[in-house]
Chain A
């Protein structure tokens, strides 16, 4: 058995075998979602807290439904309607949630390392649902799951991540997962958002979109994260679209069996044209279905994990 962790904090500290264990387990949970009765008793009597200090709808709903399908009880905690607004620290909030005899805390926070911080003093399990620009492990796992399901493998594939890499936790987690599983990762976008420093962790970096997508088996598009940019990193959205947006014309110069992925929310007409997003090579909607299965697998594995926490700050 390749999983003995109590927390899921990042992809960086996982090895390939652990990542593949999550993907294998997720296959079993995807089948549960296709049945008439979509619920199993694996987490019966457990309580999962969704501690979403940074707003999120899709990830929160996905974790909420995942926990419910495992028969866990779920509490949704959002920062807007909480004592965090009254000056309570994250540490105190988490300790109070733990004092309610909860079992798993799923945290989304705008500060990198917030889940690792909680894992150091809490007795409950912690799952990172996105921390600042650091990591978003379940997104990378669902992307890897989708690639493996569609292509039958990950090793040796060319994956191009296109867009705002600098501010993207999705990109970081994907880079770790894909390189550990033996894929070749190319990063592309404006130089200000795709610095050469990523070459040091084994990625190819290019600022020419046609070069980036020509031999790609997968193109993973990322949204421009206005909310994380401290200053304007490129002249205009219109210029971004004309230089890097994925449209039919660009798509015509790629491999015929290329997969188009996007973690959502998509900005139609900015990073992706509608006819590409809705086209035959897009697996964007299937990623959402797979995300639920992967999050069920993560909750399930974490619940049984006893071992070293593997905290990587």
Chain B
């Protein structure tokens, strides 16, 4: 029976997202060129939620895309990821794209996402927003916006649950 510790409950998760939204607004003066791209699947829920908060700050809607990085992973010889369609219904060229993911770990998903975005255009800049940074980076990648830094052991699991999938928002650390 794995031991599970809640590191963010629904209220804390919402608070973290509100803070990230304000940090995004602070960092990006030209709000008109900002677009959110969520990494399937958790990042998509988070990107949609940020897109619901940001208009209250900026007084205009923010475009949201969904990116699946499965085809760009570096471990396809070893496993086949479950894939969702990539839908980016706007031109990213010249935009400030904010990549949104739930958990930042090795950095390999972010690396794949940067590659995948290449095929859609040339953004002016790319920033990275994550709900949880759990450390153990294997690539030179750093998040611009972090909901919570959670020190972990490599063997532990970070489980992120979303209300969109049924149940309640929660981030839990599971020791195996």
A→B interface (CB under 8 Å): 1, 3-4, 21, 24-25, 27-32, 35-37, 39-43, 70, 300-301, 303-306
Contact = CB atoms under 8 A, between A and B. Distances in A.
Interface string B58-84: 000000000010111000111111111
Contacts of B70: 28, 42
Contacts of A27: 83-85
Nearest to A42: B71
Contacts of A306: 78
B85 A300 contact: no
Given A37-B119, A40-B72, A41-B115, A30 B85 contact: yes
Given A3-B80, A304-B80, A40 B87 contact: no
B72 A41 contact: yes
A31 B85 CA distance: 6
Nearest to A41: B72
Contacts of B71: 28-29, 32, 40-42, 70, 300
A305 B80 CA distance: 7
B150 to A, nearest CB: 26
B121 to A, nearest CB: 9
Nearest to A303: B76
B120 interface: yes
Contacts of B79: 1, 304
A303 B82 contact: no
Contacts of B85: 27-28, 30-31
Query: 7 shortest A-B CB distances, which residue pairs?
Result: A304-B80, A28-B83, A40-B71, A31-B85, A37-B119, A42-B71, A28-B85
A304 to B, nearest CB: 3
Interface residues of B, number: 20
Contact of A24 (B76, B82, B87, B115): B82
Given A41-B72, A42-B71, A31 B86 contact: yes
A21 B82 CA distance: 8
Given A40-B72, A40-B119, A304 B78 contact: yes
Given A37-B119, A303-B77, A304-B78, A25 B83 contact: yes
Nearest to A70: B71
Contacts of A304: 76-80
Contacts of B76: 42-43, 300, 303-304
Contacts of A21: 82
Given A28-B68, A28-B71, A42-B76, A35 B119 contact: yes
A24 B83 contact: yes
Interface in B74-111: 76-87
Nearest to B77: A304
B73 to A, nearest CB: 8
A24 B68 CA distance: 13
22 contacts: A1-B82, A4-B80, A25-B80, A28-B71, A28-B83, A31-B87, A32-B71, A35-B119, A36-B119, A39-B119, A40-B72, A40-B116, A41-B71, A41-B115, A42-B71, A42-B76, A300-B71, A301-B80, A303-B77, A304-B76, A304-B79, A304-B80
A36 B93 CA distance: 13
Contacts of A3: 80
Interface centre among B68, B70, B71 (most CB of A within 10 A): B71
A27 B84 CA distance: 7
A1 B80 contact: yes
Contacts of A25: 80, 82-83
B72 A42 contact: yes
A28 B120 contact: no
A183 to B, nearest CB: 24
A27 to B, nearest CB: 5
A102 to B, nearest CB: 15
Given A40-B116, A304-B80, 4 more contacts: A1-B82, A27-B83, A37-B119, A42-B72
B169 to A, nearest CB: 25
A302 to B, nearest CB: 9
Nearest to A21: B82
A41 B81 CA distance: 14
B154 to A, nearest CB: 22
A63 B72 CA distance: 20
Contacts of B80: 1, 3-4, 25, 300-301, 303-305
A190 B119 CA distance: 51
Contacts of B86: 28, 31-32
